[in-house]
């Protein structure tokens, strides 16, 4: 019975530690994605490379749980900086070397869909605002515990973030953006052409045939949502 139970008693806590590392990796990938979105856009914050983000992730997520947040702080390969839970049954750390075990990758992609790119360009919206943060952790093998002595476990988690930094100061700005010169983002005709068609009896009759009994459409009308003045206080 000991031949069966002893390995089981060792493996069950180990699986729990693996799950804890996986959860931490997921949370770290969210941090990387949000930091990339803030730091790699038009923000006033400085640019952060993957090397800088990896250094922060190692110290703030994979080090000891009470590690203070310091600028330029680095996780050291000694027990005082390690998570006290992430040790095997022999007392060896599951992450013996932070630099080799933990890697960070960020990507910033552009909107490649034809219709999405067309509409975004017409509204002067950013098209390179899809961010991805990925964190990969290599866990050390467990000596003397098959099959974990040769498993070569690698845990990777990623978070994607699509953000739009455009905001209008008021309804007039929204209307101006939609009525801007150029092509209508919602169709193949400029708004000036649509407005010229408005009130044309032939056009109104043709359009109302699609929905019998409905009033003629108000072509070219732009009516942005307006917040009541008593709600702006």
Domain membership of residue 68 as a residue range: 2-162
Contact 94/140 with Cβ under 8 angstroms? yes
230 inside domain = no
Which pLDDT value is given to residue 167? 66
134 inside domain = yes
123 inside domain = yes
SS3 sequence of the chain: CHHHHHHHHHHHHHHHHHHHHHHHHHHHHHHHHHHHHHHCCCCCCCCCCHHHHHHHHHHHCCECCCCCCCCCCCCCCCHHHECCCCECCCCCECCCCHHHHEEEEEEEECCCCHHHHHHHHHCCCCCCCEEEEEEEEECCCCCCCCCCCCCCCEEEEEEEEECCCCCCCCHHHHHHHHCCCCCCCCCCCCHHHHHHHCCCHHHHHHHHCCCCCCCCCCCCCCCCCCCCHHHCC
Closest by Cα among 153, 158, 157, 156 to 14: 153
231 inside domain = no
Mark the ranges of the chain whose per-residue pLDDT is less than 50. 42-43, 182-183, 185, 188-189
232 inside domain = no
One domain for residues 205 and 156: no
Q: What is the pLDDT of residues 16-53, one digit of tens each?
A: 999 999 999 999 999 999 887 777 654 455 678 889 99
Q: Which of 117, 145, 162 is the last residue of a domain?
A: 162
Q: Does the predicted TM-score (pTM) go above 0.75?
A: no
Q: How many domains would you assign to the chain?
A: 2
């Amino acid at each position: 019975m000991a031949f069966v139970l002893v390995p089981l008693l060792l493996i069950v806590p180990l699986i729990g530690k693996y799950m804890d590392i996986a959860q931490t990796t997921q949370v770290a990938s969210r941090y990387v994605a949000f930091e990339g979105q803030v730091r790699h856009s038009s923000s006033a914050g400085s640019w952060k490379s993957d090397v800088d983000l990896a250094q922060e992730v190692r110290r703030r997520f994979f080090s000891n749980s009470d590690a203070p947040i310091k600028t330029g702080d680095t996780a050291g390969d000694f027990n005082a900086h390690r998570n006290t839970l992430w040790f095997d049954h022999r007392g060896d750390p599951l992450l013996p070397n932070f630099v080799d075990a933990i890697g960070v990758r960020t990507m910033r992609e552009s909107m490649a869909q034809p219709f999405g790119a067309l509409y975004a360009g017409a509204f002067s919206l950013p098209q390179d605002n899809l961010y991805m943060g990925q964190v990969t952790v290599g866990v050390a093998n467990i000596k003397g515990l098959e099959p974990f002595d040769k498993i070569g476990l690698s845990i990777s988690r990623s978070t994607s973030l699509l953000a739009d930094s455009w905001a209008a100061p008021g309804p007039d700005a929204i209307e101006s953006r939609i009525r801007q010169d150029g092509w209508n983002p919602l169709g193949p005709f400029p708004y000036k052409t649509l407005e010229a068609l408005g009130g044309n009896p032939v056009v109104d009759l043709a359009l109302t045939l699609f929905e019998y009994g409905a009033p003629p459409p108000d072509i070219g009308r732009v009516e942005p949502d307006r917040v009541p003045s008593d709600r702006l206080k």
